Chain A
């Protein structure tokens, strides 16, 4: 096995990098790939919480880099999926505790043993971002349909190109179809017109994400919510499958469902 290293980044904070990383990892692991997630957000670790593995951390990525433990010992196995592992970030250190070449070395050590290595990048464009970018084969840029998030995504895509890790691929997260319909939110076309990169996922705004994040149960574990379904689709697209984007325009109100029933009944 030779793993592909996928770095999830965004520039701006709070757009859903960690949630995206956790869900794509879960979705890839459900497709029976062997997946390792690395939390590169040292000092502000979150990925362990979102994956629900916080209480099992003994060693972290800095311990592994500094040789206080073997890499194996820092890998926490997820109990729900047999082939999903997490290497958590250290909470008591900062981004300078590791360097880009440490990350390259770490990933090279993992590469022969797994199928996918997912790196959750911290926000910003400084050391932490460079740590996360250094070993990447593929880069996913997460953005929201907001002007400020798109501006930061543009900057990040430029930096990824400059590091010759491009072309980055884009996930548009937290799209609220009601707002788009009212013309109050940027559409996917608006965003793509500016960023001009390949779109690999449009994830709708979904309350299920907040609930599941708080519980440490990523939505992609079951495909019941729309967001969960889209994350599963993204995982399939990453493996070269052609999966159409979800139709987000359906309303889930009572009358809409009633109307749909009649339409399907009539046809």
Chain B
């Protein structure tokens, strides 16, 4: 998922004077969003960035943002203000990249990273980077807690639990190597051939294609199970290797 918007493409009459010859580039990278600032005054560029975010509505919500400010010297107050304003738009500023040691120092004081290379876990799990021959799938090697939502066109494999309040929506199959207690929708585009497998099948709610299943309360764990569609309803069967 790569988005690229360059304000230089916009018509010049839509801008105020001091923003001329300046640019704010937002692009999607592995670590989240990377904003690169061109020439210009800080206040103007900041306003421009916030404008671009506003224009996209809820698109950037929940994103992690790194900002490359070039040679600029930024003070803690400016950086803090930007972080707060992004934070108000539900965007997390996690890194400030700069050639200026002063700015780097300020970033460190505010607890921000100054390099992109540090591995950061992503909050919103996106499509896997590597394209293997065959169908797309994403692997999530962690427990999905309440409030986390994974939505993908491919298959989903979770190594870990899916807790109540977490949601997985996949156009393909869903395999949970752990306890499934949240909500899963497999075959979200209407494919009734999709299945949901879990070592402990105890979902809040299960959906396959357009069908709907709510498991009985106080269900005992019988071992690994698989849910599939049979005769227009969802059935859950014990997994056996025979």
Q: Tell whether A pairs with B.
A: yes
| CB <8 Å contact, B148 and A100 | no
| CB <8 Å contact, A194 and B80 | no
- The distance from the CB of B79 to the nearest CB of chain A, in whole angstroms, is 8
For window 120-156 of B, CB contacts with A under 8 Å fall at 120-121, 123, 143, 145-148
B98 within 8 A of partner (CB) = no
- The distance from the CB of A172 to the nearest CB of chain B, in whole angstroms, is 17
Chain A residues contacting B38 (CB-CB under 8 Å) are none
Chain A residues contacting B165 (CB-CB under 8 Å) are 151, 154-155
* CA gap between A101 and B145 in the complex, in Å: 27
Q: Which of A104, A127, A130, A162 contacts B110, CB < 8 Å?
A: A104
| CB <8 Å contact, A158 and B84 | no
By beta carbon, the residue of chain A nearest B109 is A108
B192 within 8 A of partner (CB) = no
| CB <8 Å contact, A194 and B163 | yes
| CB <8 Å contact, A196 and B121 | no
* CA gap between A108 and B181 in the complex, in Å: 41
By beta carbon, the residue of chain A nearest B113 is A164
Q: Which of B84, B147, B161 contacts A196, CB < 8 Å?
A: B161
Mask: chain B, 140-182; 1 = CB below 8 Å from A; 0 = not: 0001011110000000000001011100000000000000010
* CA gap between A99 and B76 in the complex, in Å: 13
* CA gap between A105 and B106 in the complex, in Å: 12
Q: Is the interface of B mostly helix, strand, loop or mixed?
A: loop
By beta carbon, the residue of chain A nearest B79 is A101
Q: A151-B164, A155-B165, A162-B123 are in contact. Are A100 and B83 (CB under 8 A)?
A: yes
Q: How many residues of B contact A (CB 8 A)?
A: 24
B189 within 8 A of partner (CB) = no
| CB <8 Å contact, B148 and A158 | yes
A51 within 8 A of partner (CB) = no
By beta carbon, the residue of chain B nearest A125 is B147
Chain B residues contacting A87 (CB-CB under 8 Å) are none
B17 within 8 A of partner (CB) = no
* CA gap between A101 and B76 in the complex, in Å: 9
Chain B residues contacting A151 (CB-CB under 8 Å) are 146, 164-165
B8 within 8 A of partner (CB) = no
By beta carbon, the residue of chain B nearest A130 is B87
By beta carbon, the residue of chain B nearest A147 is B164
Chain A residues contacting B109 (CB-CB under 8 Å) are 108
B57 within 8 A of partner (CB) = no
A64 within 8 A of partner (CB) = no
| CB <8 Å contact, A155 and B83 | no
Chain A residues contacting B163 (CB-CB under 8 Å) are 154, 194
For window 61-119 of B, CB contacts with A under 8 Å fall at 76, 79-80, 83-84, 87-88, 92, 109-111
Chain A residues contacting B123 (CB-CB under 8 Å) are 162
| CB <8 Å contact, A99 and B84 | yes
| CB <8 Å contact, B146 and A155 | yes
* CA gap between A248 and B165 in the complex, in Å: 31
- The distance from the CB of B206 to the nearest CB of chain A, in whole angstroms, is 19
* CA gap between A105 and B77 in the complex, in Å: 10
| CB <8 Å contact, B87 and A155 | no
A157 within 8 A of partner (CB) = yes
Q: Which of B79, B120, B145 contacts A155, CB < 8 Å?
A: B145
Chain A residues contacting B88 (CB-CB under 8 Å) are 127
- The distance from the CB of B30 to the nearest CB of chain A, in whole angstroms, is 17
| CB <8 Å contact, B146 and A104 | no
| CB <8 Å contact, B87 and A196 | no
A159 within 8 A of partner (CB) = yes
Q: Which of A99, A102, A158, A164 contacts B145, CB < 8 Å?
A: A158
By beta carbon, the residue of chain A nearest B77 is A101
* CA gap between A194 and B180 in the complex, in Å: 11
Mask: chain A, 54-94; 1 = CB below 8 Å from B; 0 = not: 00000000000000000000000000000000000000000
By beta carbon, the residue of chain B nearest A99 is B84
| CB <8 Å contact, A101 and B80 | yes
Residues of A at the B interface (CB closer than 8 Å) are: 99-102, 104-105, 108, 127, 130, 134, 151-152, 154-155, 157-159, 161-164, 194, 196
Residues of B at the A interface (CB closer than 8 Å) are: 76, 79-80, 83-84, 87-88, 92, 109-111, 120-121, 123, 143, 145-148, 161, 163-165, 181
8 sampled A-B residue pairs with Cβ under 8 A: A104-B111, A108-B109, A134-B111, A151-B146, A157-B145, A161-B121, A163-B92, A196-B161
List 16 additional contacts besides A154-B147, A157-B145; criterion CB under 8 Å: A99-B84, A99-B87, A101-B83, A102-B80, A104-B110, A104-B111, A130-B87, A151-B164, A154-B145, A154-B163, A159-B147, A162-B123, A164-B121, A194-B163, A194-B164, A196-B161
